[in-house]
Structure formats: structure tokens, C-alpha cells
Amino acid sequence: MTAELLTCGARELAARMAAGEVSAVEVAQAHLDRIAQTDDHLHAFLRVLSDDALATAADVDSRRAAGAPLGALAGIPVALKDVLTTKGVVTTCGSKMLEHYRPVYDATVVQRLQAADAVIVGKANMDEFAMGSSTENSAFGPSRNPWDLDRVPGGTSGGSTAAAAAFQAPLAIGTDTGGSIRQPAALCGVVGVKPTYGLVSRYGLVAFASSLDQVGPIARDVGDAALLLEVIGGHDACDSTSIPIPPPSYGAELERGVEGLCVGVVREFLATEGLAPDVRARVEDGIARLGKLGAELVDVSLPHAAYGLPAYYLIAPSECSSNLSRFDGVRYGLRVPGETTEQMMSRTREAGFGREVKRRIMIGTYALSAGYYDAYYVSAQRVRTLIIRDFAAAHEQCDVLVGPTAPETAFPLGSKTADPIAMYLQDVFTIPSSLAGAPALSVPVGLDDAGLPVGLQVMAPVLGEGVMFRVARALEADLALDPTPRGPNSLEPPDEEHDAGSDAQPVRLVP
């Protein structure tokens, strides 16, 4: 029974709890045990919230017993990326700067999860301040890919996607600035959604690049991801960039199939040098399936997409250089003493930030400097406008666009850490939608020749999440893939042997 509780997914768990087959406490305990058994290998979590999770689950059970109304995620375990603030609970953003930082408030997304009676099981690992593509930039050590423990889970939401893929939680929250949900979702073989900019509140999301950051759902299937987005989406008065719409609803659209839809195949993406041949083959196979399922396939062009990566690496660092100024040792977080205030600030930032964060702060500071601002920041914003127009033109032709999520599958730990440009290229296909503020998701489309997951990216117009889910769900149903990580070096799948819980390792609290 326990293995099934771990593998069955959020909606199935909700149904079983509602039917009284299993309690929320049992569900929470099963997932906490799974985390305890596996996280020494995986390191998906920076902090496991066992006591809080069990208390929430017990509360759900007692309210259910009393016949009280319960939220849409009642008793469902959720892993939360450690970039979202949790009141009184250490929130590190994967940085030494915030190693012991306890926020004074809950992020809006966290409040909505709580209001939906979700059970937050822990704070997931991530690249420091959401900068990276492998989770290797975490100041507290990398997470690993459950399909091959010597490989990265992708990033920056690698802890969240690894947790979902490894059955540590059926749902996870990630954040995506240039691909940080979609790329690790592709590498871990799960569904990861970057919603329309402004659909999910950024209040309490510790900012990397404010004009691009977006919170999104991660799950092992499309329906669960859609359900989680329904809970966290909708207007929030605390975020001025939040779109004034009520919480969305996707259920009715999910199973409508692709017949009659026009699917645009982004030619430039498939022709990109550096796209692994077996990744291209799986993606092309997925596209062909959509055709067989009744979608009209057309070739479309995003002529300025190629300039997206350089534009992104000016806009995002520029915003980050300003957003991260507040970490100065004065009010919260790390403080390294100095002779003067200036020296204290300087030493604190020297000690608190990792190499990639410093690199981006320096790039951004340079790009915003007098005399360079027009050449860099303003030019990059112009490219952004051109890309928005590219998407608008493409969507006049078709309902969604498709292509690969990432140029390759999970790569070995350490293989790209010395080469920032190689790491940046991981985001080449995900950045265009980010710059356009449009939604996109990654859905598993099979395995490469080495047995590692490949993701197909579905891109939709602004607020086109409904049709995006519909296409992804049709493909998922047709493929009927097993999400269980398998392979010679994969994490042990959940099975009855681990049921007892008596051999569970004590939950490790990291840091």
C-alpha cells in the first residue's frame, strides 16, 4: 500500500483520502519516510519540515472527521523551493547569505497552499538565488538526478523536480526565470510549468530578475500540475505585476484532445546546433504523435529567438544586481564585521555570495552603468520586444508552439561548472517564452539513448495555459510513459521492502 501512496499522484491521493481509505497523516508519514530513506543520496531538500507536515496532516484529518470543508489540496504533500518565504522557517535561497534567515511573513503562494490545506514537507534545494542550470550552485551542495545519481537534476528548481521524480512528494513548487522549472523538469522526467508572467503572485518570491521570475507547478502528470496551478494562480494585490483575474480553472479543458488545434513546430529550435540527435528524435516523435492525434502541424519561425539568450543575460543580471543589493549585513542575514559600515557590507557580500551570483551582479552592474546602459540594457529590451512580436505572429497562425525543452539530457555533475557559457546554453529554448512573458511547460516525451528523460516544450500565448495543458495531456495520454526513474545508477524506486518505516534514517536537517 505505501508504494502506491507514493506513486499514485495528487488527485488519486485526494480521492483516497476523501474516501477514507487512507489518512493525511499516513500519506504525510509515507512521504517523510521516503525522504528519510532517499535524501542522503538525492539531496533534494535543504530542510525537511516533518513536525509541521505531520501537524498539518493531523489537522486535515480531524477537520475531515468533523465534516468541515477542506481545500483542494487537503493532505497532499508539496515540496517548496527554498526561494519562497515561510514565516519563521529558515529560507536560504541556496545561499550562505541567508543560511540562518527566518522570514517574517509567508509568500502569497505559501498562504494559498496553506489555505488549500496542502502539507508542505520541506524546502527544496536550488541554485543560489535561482542562478544556474544544474543546482550545483547551491551553497549547500548539489542535488542529484534520480535517474542517474551521478548526474545533475537540472536547475535552478532541481531540488523540486528531483523530489517529484523520486516520489518524495507528488507535487512541488518551483520558480522559472529563464527555464528554471522547465529544464530540470525535462532532465528529471516530470511535468514543469512556467505560467504566464503575472498569473502567480511573486510576493514572497525572493527576486532574481523581477520582470521574468514566475512561480510554477511541478508534478508527475499534467493533470496534477494543472490542479496545483489552479491553487496558486490568480490575482494578488500585494504584487503590482499580478494580472487582475480570478484563480484559473483548467479541469474542463484538460481531456479535450488536440483535434482541430494548430501546433506550430519552431524550425529554429530543431535546427539548433548543439541539440542532441537523440533528444531531437524523441521530440520529433512526440510532435508526430500530436499530428496523428489530429492536430494540424505547421512550421513556424521565431526569427529573433536566437538573440534571446544574450538579451536575457543582460536583462536578468541587470535586475539581479539591483535586487541583490539589499543583502548587505545591515538588517538580516549574514554579517561579517568590518572597521566601517562600508567594509562590513563589502566583506559580507564577499563571503555570502557564491561565484555565479557575483558574476551576474558584476555583469548587471556593468550593463546598467552610465555610458553602457543604452548599448546593453536598452538594446536587450528591444530584442525582448522583437521576441514578443515573433510570438504574436506565430500565434496568429497556431494555438501552441512546440520544440525541445533543453538541448540535452541530464549531464554529469561537474561537467559544465567550469564553463558558464555551456551552462547558460541549457536555457536556449526556454528563454524566449520567458522574455515574452508567455506560458510554457515541459512534458516527458521518452528517454534518450542512455535511458535519460527527454522533455518536449509546449509554448502558448499569454494566459493560454488551458490549451497548453490540453496539448500536453493528449501527448502524455498517448505516450503512457512510466515516470519511475530506472537505470543502473538510478535511485531505488519505492517498493514494499521500504514499507515498514522502522528502517527509516533520521530526517536530516540541512543545513
Partner 1 sequence: MTTTTTVEQATNYEAVIGLEVHIELSTRTKMFCGCAIDFGGEPNSRTCAVCLGQPGSLPVVNAAAVEAAIRLGLALGCEIAPSSRFHRKNYFYPDMPKNYQISQYDVPICLRGHLDIPSERGVRSIGITRVHMEEDTGKSSHVGGSGRITGATHSLVDYNRAGIPLLECVSEPDLRSAEESRVYLTELRAIVLALGISDAKLEEGSMRCDANISLRPVGHTVFGTRVEVKNMNSVRSLGRAIDYEIARQNEVLTSGAPVVQETRHWDENTQRTSTLRTKESVDDYRYFPDPDLLPVEPASEDVERLRAELPELPAALRARLAETRGLSPAQVSVLAGTGLSALFVQSVAAGAPASEAANWLANEVTGWAGAQGVEPVAVPLTGAQLAELVGLVADGTLSAKLARQVLEAVLSGEGDPRAVAHARGLAQISNSAELEEIVDSVIAEHADAAQRVRDGNHKAIGALVGAVMRATQGRANPSLVNELLQARLSA
Q: Is 107 helix (H, G, I), strand (E, B) or coil?
A: coil
Task: Answer for the pair 310, 496: CB distance below 8 angstroms, yes or no.
Answer: no
For residue 296, list its beta bridge partners: 262
Asked if 338 interacts with partner 1 (CB under 8 A), we say no
Cell 498562504 maps to which residue? 111
Least distance to partner 1, CB of residue 53, Å: 22
Q: What gap in Å lies between CA 420 and CA 362, rounded to an integer?
A: 14
Cβ contact 152:142 at 8 Å? yes
Q: Of the listed pieces 188-196, 281-289, 337-345, 464-472, which binds partner 1 according to CB under 8 A?
A: 337-345
Only segment of 65-73, 261-269, 298-306, 369-377 that touches partner 1 (CB under 8 A): 369-377
Torsion-angle region of 72 (φ positive above 0: left; ψ -120 to 50: alpha; else: beta)? alpha
Start-to-end C-alpha separation, the chain: 32
Query: Which of 91, 138, 272, 442: binder of partner 1 (CB under 8 A)?
Result: 91
Return the residue of 12, 90, 105, 149 that touches partner 1, per CB under 8 A.
105
CB of 84 to partner 1, least distance (A): 7
Residue 322 binds to partner 1 (criterion: CB under 8 A): yes
CB atoms within 10 A of CB 496: 10
Q: Which of 319, 390, 399, 465 binds partner 1 (CB under 8 A)?
A: 319
Cell readout for 216 is 510554477
Q: How far is the CB of 162 from partner 1 (least distance, A)?
A: 23
Q: Which of residues 42-71 bind partner 1 (CB under 8 A)?
A: none
Q: Decide: is 411 part of the binding site for partner 1 (CB under 8 A).
A: no
Residue pair 251/226 in contact by the 8 Å Cβ criterion? yes
Instruction: Kindly tell me which of 341 and 397 has the beta carbon lying closer to partner 1.
Output: 341
Other beta carbons within 10 angstroms of residue 268's beta carbon come to 18
Residue 296 near residue 183, CB atoms below 8 Å: no
Q: Does 210 bind partner 1 (CB under 8 A)?
A: yes
Indicate whether 343 belongs to the interface with partner 1 (CB under 8 A).
Answer: no
Q: Of 17, 48, 72, 93, which lies in the binding site for partner 1, with binding defined by CB under 8 A? A: 93
Residue 313 found at the interface with partner 1 (CB under 8 A): no
CA distances from 163 to 77, 166, 184, 185, 334 (A): 11, 5, 11, 11, 28
Closer residue to partner 1, CB minimum distance, 32 or 436: 436
Query: How big is the site for partner 1, counted in residues (CB under 8 A)?
Result: 44
What's phi and psi for 45, nearest 5 deg? -110, 145
Catalog residues that contact partner 1 under the rule CB under 8 A. Answer: 84-85, 91, 93, 98, 101, 103-105, 107, 202-207, 209-211, 237-241, 318-319, 321-322, 325-328, 330-332, 341-342, 345, 365, 368-370, 373, 377
